Amino acid sequence: MTKLIISSSKFQSAIVDLLPCNNGSKSRLTHSLIDTYGLLQYFDHVVMTPFASKDELLNFHTIEYLNVILDEKLNKRKVEDETYIDNWNYLNQVGIEWLEENKPNESKSFELQANFQDDNDNTIQSTNEIDQYFNSIETLYKYYSYIAKGHKATVKNYNTTSNKKRTSWEALLDELSDDSMENSTDSANDNSSNNSSDTSSEDSNDDSGVDLNDNSSDRLSSKNATQKHEIDSYKATVINDIVDFDVVKLKQYNLVGDCPIFSFLPMYCHVLGGSTLRLLDHIDFNEKQICINWDGGRHHSRKKKASGFCYVNDIVLCIQKLGEKGFRKITYLDFDLHHGDGVEKSFQYSKHIQTISVHLFEPGFFPCTGSLEETKHGFNIVNIPTLHGLDDNYLTYLLNRVIIPLIKKHKPECLVVQCGGDGLIGDRYKEWQMTISGLTKNIMLVLQNFPECSVVLLGGGGYNERVMSRFHTFLTWKVVQTFSSKGSTLLDQFESDYHEEHSTKQNNDTTTMDSANTQSPFSNNMSDILIPEHEFSDFYGEELCRFWAYELPASQYFKQLHNDNIPNYIDKLVKFYNL
């Protein structure tokens, strides 16, 4: 039996979409599409309100770096980029309006009641009104403050509830309105370990041994801050003064260029870190699990600096925590277009952690690392540098002849897979030409070759948010189809739910229905099927709402690139890695 766990919610997505490169929409489109297809109900646990404490982030990152990116002042800083925040607000507005029109009962604001205890164990009752879509960042922050206060993530166990399809929002509210809201205020509780001995220092002069003595004063001050924190103290008005940061310091932490300091960065980092770490609260060494967090996979981030849109390295934190859970041998596999440098570097000298990255390696292409030569400097490092034009079939050859045999040699107990999608057709990089169905098939090929291994599937790059929402939804569906403990009957139910929904719609509105709409979007017959109507349908546009818009050869969005990768190269790799 395989246990399925996912971290996905409107709460998580609204916060993750504050990351500038998400175009204010990547995570929300993905969550909403997964929810639209009713896939969340096939998971044993759904993490709804992720949060990672500063102490947990300290297991990899340095205190000096965290003190900058977690500076609470940033959570109240005025958003400077009006255009960017307009996009963020616009997406919420679209969702709210769609719900008001289509599901008026669900569109109202909720009176949210939560009980929690203060630091002297006195029960405090607090009431706040929350809108479904967090129609302003202030509302979102207010809600986040609840989570930060009682930071044990709320989790929905869908398997023990009825099979009735519930929206993630309903589940979230249920969690918060009953006594399942846990009252932990001590963020240090579950942090018995410091830096994993498995992680190597990035630089020789790096303060890799961030010791507890060093943290203790910070931990105390963080506790004091928590004590002072009043849930209702946050005012909807943001502080207008700009927080001053030393430019030299910002450069030192690379918080410039691709990785700017942005408003609500601390909220983003706590939630992003938690979205991966809280999955592991449910993992058990003796049982097979598949954990999913499409917002994770921030593979470039280093101990003490941000890099390539990555501020917190949830992958390294995840691998460390898996080690604490008893997994000794772990393989990290990275499908992102870019080299997984942050993860590779962290486990460069680990004998237990194998890191494998397939990536574009051409002069000047970020991060300019990931050569074959580099694999000689450390243990268990596998780089598969490739050229422009990589396609599905070439990746399959690479997997069958090089990658899977190398993983078999390592004999891992757990796989951590970074499923970035910036190599897909339709991505703005236009470097590789993998299809959603092809990349999914290749990822599933890996999973099926290691049936005993637990798996953590994380997201990554991908800069066409509509393509990414389709890719991660399709991959989620494939995982559910293949591994759901509910078995194939529930898959039939998923399919029939889809048909039922559409036949009801068809009865109500026969004029707009296209016959293609009545097919399951995921049938093996990959015809040109439309994404079902939901709150963000408009974002897919008249042409783009076709699920396979970018990969059907007849589609105007399908563009074939020349594949510069030659078959002989694979033979060379086989020889290089002594296979």
* Catalytic residue positions, numbered: 300
Q: Residue 507 is which amino acid?
A: N
User: Using CA atoms, how far apart are residues 158 and 44, in angstroms rounded to an integer?
Assistant: 6
One character per residue 435-474, x = contact with Zn ion (rule: CB under 5 A)? --------------------------x-------------
Q: Pick the piece of the chain touching Zn ion (CB under 5 A) from 66-74, 254-262, 413-421, 435-443.
A: 413-421
Strand runs labelled E in 315-462: 330-334, 353-360, 381-386, 414-418, 454-458
Q: Pick the piece of the chain touching Zn ion (CB under 5 A) from 186-194, 288-296, 359-367, 414-422.
A: 414-422
Task: Give me the helices (H) in 328-464, please.
Answer: 341-346, 392-398, 404-410, 436-449
- Sorted by sequence, the CB contacts under 8 Å of residue 45 that are 6+ apart come out as 3, 4, 5, 6, 155, 156, 157, 158, 282
**Residue whose Cβ sits closest to Zn ion:** 461
**Nearer CB in complex with Zn ion: 461/521:** 461
Among 44, 175, 336, 341, binds Zn ion (CB under 5 A): 336
Min CB(460)–Zn ion separation in Å: 6
Helix (H) or strand (E) holding 247: helix 247-252
Sites for Zn ion among residues 183-202 (CB under 5 A): none
Among 61, 282, 338, 486, binds Zn ion (CB under 5 A): 338
- Return the SS3 of 150: coil
Is 26 one of the binding residues for Zn ion (CB under 5 A)?
Answer: no
- Return the SS3 of 420: coil
**Nearer CB in complex with Zn ion: 385/420:** 420
**Nearer CB in complex with Zn ion: 367/532:** 367
- Return the SS3 of 145: helix
Min CB(443)–Zn ion separation in Å: 16
Q: Closest Cα partner for 295 from 5, 12, 4, 49? A: 12
Q: Pick the piece of the chain touching Zn ion (CB under 5 A) from 98-106, 268-276, 415-423, 490-498.
A: 415-423
Sites for Zn ion among residues 517-546 (CB under 5 A): none
The CA-atom distances, in angstroms, between 436 and each of 38, 466, 498, 552, 558 are 20, 12, 21, 11, 12
Among 422, 431, 465, 535, binds Zn ion (CB under 5 A): 422
**Nearer CB in complex with Zn ion: 75/254:** 254
**Nearer CB in complex with Zn ion: 130/315:** 315
* # residues near Zn ion by CB under 5 A: 6
Q: Pick the piece of the chain touching Zn ion (CB under 5 A) from 100-108, 180-188, 213-221, 329-337.
A: 329-337
Residue 250 CB neighbour total at 10 angstroms = 16
Min CB(300)–Zn ion separation in Å: 8
CA angle 259, 250, 272 (to 5 degrees): 40
Kind of pairing between the strands at 155-156 and 45-47: antiparallel
Min CB(462)–Zn ion separation in Å: 7
Q: Would you give the DSSP letter of residue 402?
A: I
Min CB(340)–Zn ion separation in Å: 9
Min CB(419)–Zn ion separation in Å: 11
Phi, psi (rounded to 5 degrees) for 421: -125, 25
Min CB(424)–Zn ion separation in Å: 11
Q: What's the token pair of residue 326?
A: 């008893």
**Nearer CB in complex with Zn ion: 278/339:** 339
**Nearer CB in complex with Zn ion: 140/468:** 468
Residue 388 CB neighbour total at 10 angstroms = 17
- HSE-CB of 573 using CA atoms within 13 angstroms: 25
Site residues (vs Zn ion, CB under 5 A): 336-338, 420, 422, 461
